[in-house]
Copies of this chain bind each other. A is one copy, B any other.
Amino acid sequence: MSALQSLPDRFPSLTADRNATDIAAARARGTCDVEQLADYLYGGREERQLRDCILAILEKEPLFSKAPRYFRSVEEALAAGLAWSRRIIELRDQHRWSGKELELALVLLDEFLPVSIIQPLLRLQCTPEQQQLWLEDAENWRIVGCYAQTELGHGSDLSRLETTATFIEGADEFEISSNGFTGAKWWIGGLGAIATHAIVQARLIIGQKDYGPHMFMVPIRSLEDHRPVSPSITLGNIGPKAFGGTNFVNNGFVYFDRHRIPRAYMLARFARVERDGTYVRPPHAKVGYAGMMLLRISLAQESGWALARAATIAIRYSAVRRQFADAANEEVPVLHYPMVSSRLLPLVAQSHAIIAGGRQLDGLFARLNADLAGNDVRLLPETHALSCCLKSLCTKMAADGMETARRSLGGHGYSAFSGFGIMYGHFVSTNTVEGDNYLITQQTARFLLKILQQHRADPSQALPESADYFGQLDDLLATKCSVADKADWLSADIQQRVMARRAVRLAVELAQLLLQQQQQEHGRIHWSALNVPCWRLSVAHGQCYLARAIATEAAVLARKHSSLAPTMKRLSDLFFLSIVEAHLGDFMEDGSVSPRQAALLRGQLDDTLAELLPEAVRLVDAFDFPDYLLDSALGRRDGQVYRALWDRAMSAPPVNAMRDDTPRSLHDTTPFGYTVMLCCPLIYRDNSTIIAANRNTL
């Protein structure tokens, strides 16, 4: 091994060193202030310092080494997930981390761990007495919870869940039943191996009446021996996931065969069942949405950071990867090819736009929560619609962007050591969970239709901030895009109008379709026939929102740190320009953007890309991801990509032990060596019986 491992050292003056020079040169090309920008993105220097303190603790833990991550079997990964979960809770207790500090640690670990799934739900859905029963235990890892909504046969449609919770009056209990194997809870994170408690969504049945889905706390595994608490519970693991994603989470199933729980275990902050079977309804229907909204909002926010990670790896690598020589016979960093930079730079702009948009949505949610305390629900529809809209849009943008980034790196992007495979595998599930991305946009579209109706009915009424552009409806539809020169595309006003016009135009068209339908179908509405236009409208609204968010933040930031102004403005422009370019048909098909303006847009896009190119590496440096988090041979801050690829290959488990040390006999004891000897050519000539004997053991 040692001869191999030292190879890069035997050639110190060659390309590996050029990596270091290249990344330094790429940094020197820009001027933007990395520290200032990073402070801004993280909301202050303290936040970053806090993160670094936690990082230092995690990096000291051998258990938290990321080196083995690509070499584990499914089972080993599940086991590691448990060990990591356990250990992170110990560290939290040892260092007295706050909830937020634990969050920071989990981000750095970069694995989904089933450590705090039900705590938010307990806070939102339980009575104070119920909180006392479970909350502290859950926080202290004395019990581990999971959230069991989805079933084998149903997910999105809560109202058709097969699981029932039937009130048994005399016993003062509920009987939980799966009612058939397709009613088994399925996909439940944490349930596969570790959870002791499940918050189960089940249709509440009292008498013969179905009150629809409600939540029930069901203890499932014994706190003494970890076995199912009753023979009426059958549970297990649902098996591995695509791309080896989220493989630290033990997703599981549970089947209830008329399993009994006390009446007091129905989560009863809003709705409840009295001892005599009286049902007490919640104060308003959507009151249970807060938890879901919170999750969607955090998924939208995470998307920005996830995409930023992908952009960081890709831009750093392509700043040092040289391929083909220019006129001066110098090999060119591939980032300098427009075909590469035009794929990568927009990802940086998108990251910023999503982070900015997520931050604003978060602010809205905070206001809603404050209002809710005073039973004021007015912000609820807007927050709900926007959280659906951005969750859908941003998680898709980030997942697609990751693959755009990876595929722009040539062969090395396909190495597991690039860090991309696992990043995508983990992340892409966000497109499905907490409401399928395509499905939930229907909520946003319906909200916008209501806004449209409201504005038409009474133009003087104030509109929710995120949809206030509907107030300019007539003006927007009456005027065409006024761009006359390519630089006009940089006008913040024009940008906002173009984005807004597309959205209102799509809303008006959708309203017309709806009207047609009602006329043809005698007043009936089939929303399902309209889900494509709903989705298009939601996308348009979300992009409009993000474009405004990044433009606003760029303007604010420019006032605070004038040195950042030009770069932030360009990022904001790039976001706008690349979105319009990607959806050009949408903007042209109502004639609002003319062919000539489209050509000008492409020209401006090229210019903006060229202006941002020198800042590329600084911009991703400002995302300030520690190497430990990126865990990428290609995304290293020091640019030493070849050395990293080399070293990681050399340290790859047993396979490389074969290199210098191929077993000489067929009776070699390492399984891999044995297989090679069985299968490699020399044996074919004379030893097929040995192979036959061993074939089925492989």
Within 8 A of B (CB), among A1-38: 3-4, 7-8, 10-11, 14-16
User: Secondary structure at chain A's binding surface: helix, strand, loop or mixed?
Assistant: helix
Instruction: Flag if A688 contacts B90 (CB, 8 Å).
Output: yes
Instruction: Flag if B78 contacts A226 (CB, 8 Å).
Output: no
A364 to chain B, nearest CB (A): 27
Q: How far is the CA of A156 from the CA of B318 in the complex (A)?
A: 14
How many copies of this protein are present in the complex? 2
Interface string of A669-698 (1 = CB under 8 A from B): 001100111111110110010010001101
Q: How far is the CA of A619 from the CA of B507 in the complex (A)?
A: 35
Residues of chain A at interface, number, CB under 8 A: 167
Instruction: Flag if B71 contacts A695 (CB, 8 Å).
Output: no
With A410-B156, A676-B193 known as contacts, the answer to whether A654 contacts B75 (CB < 8 A) is: yes
Instruction: Flag if A695 contacts B83 (CB, 8 Å).
Output: yes
A153 to chain B, nearest CB (A): 5
Instruction: Flag if B659 contacts A223 (CB, 8 Å).
Output: no
Q: Contacts of A186 on B, CB cut-off 8 Å?
A: 411, 645
Q: How far is the CA of A619 from the CA of B689 in the complex (A)?
A: 46
Instruction: Flag if B425 contacts A243 (CB, 8 Å).
Output: yes
Q: How far is the CA of A235 from the CA of B649 in the complex (A)?
A: 11
Q: Contacts of A150 on B, CB cut-off 8 Å?
A: 411
Asked whether any CB of chain B lies closer than 8 Å to the CB of A526, the reply is yes
Asked whether any CB of chain B lies closer than 8 Å to the CB of A453, the reply is no
One of A366-374, A493-501, A582-590 at the interface: A582-590
Among B141, B155, B652, contact of A684 (Cβ-Cβ < 8 Å): B141
Instruction: Flag if A532 contacts B588 (CB, 8 Å).
Output: no
Instruction: Flag if A323 contacts B193 (CB, 8 Å).
Output: no
Q: Contacts of A324 on B, CB cut-off 8 Å?
A: 156-157, 160, 528
Instruction: Flag if B243 contacts A244 (CB, 8 Å).
Output: yes
Q: How far is the CA of A369 from the CA of B682 in the complex (A)?
A: 36
Among B15, B181, B240, B332, contact of A153 (Cβ-Cβ < 8 Å): B15
Q: Contacts of A529 on B, CB cut-off 8 Å?
A: 338
Interface string of A191-216 (1 = CB under 8 A from B): 01110100000000000000000000
A498 to chain B, nearest CB (A): 14
Instruction: Flag if B244 contacts A421 (CB, 8 Å).
Output: yes
Q: Contacts of A425 on B, CB cut-off 8 Å?
A: 243, 421
Q: How far is the CA of A421 from the CA of B428 in the complex (A)?
A: 11
Asked whether any CB of chain B lies closer than 8 Å to the CB of A576, the reply is no
Instruction: Flag if A416 contacts B239 (CB, 8 Å).
Output: yes
Asked whether any CB of chain B lies closer than 8 Å to the CB of A301, the reply is no
Q: Contacts of A517 on B, CB cut-off 8 Å?
A: none
Asked whether any CB of chain B lies closer than 8 Å to the CB of A658, the reply is yes
13 more CB-based (< 8 A) A-B contacts, given A152-B645, A186-B645: A3-B234, A16-B181, A62-B695, A75-B653, A75-B671, A82-B678, A157-B331, A187-B411, A226-B676, A235-B659, A236-B655, A238-B649, A585-B587
A-B contact pairs, 5 of them (CB 8 A): A75-B653, A80-B698, A228-B660, A245-B421, A588-B598
Closest 5 CB pairs of A and B: A584-B585, A242-B421, A82-B679, A15-B182, A79-B675
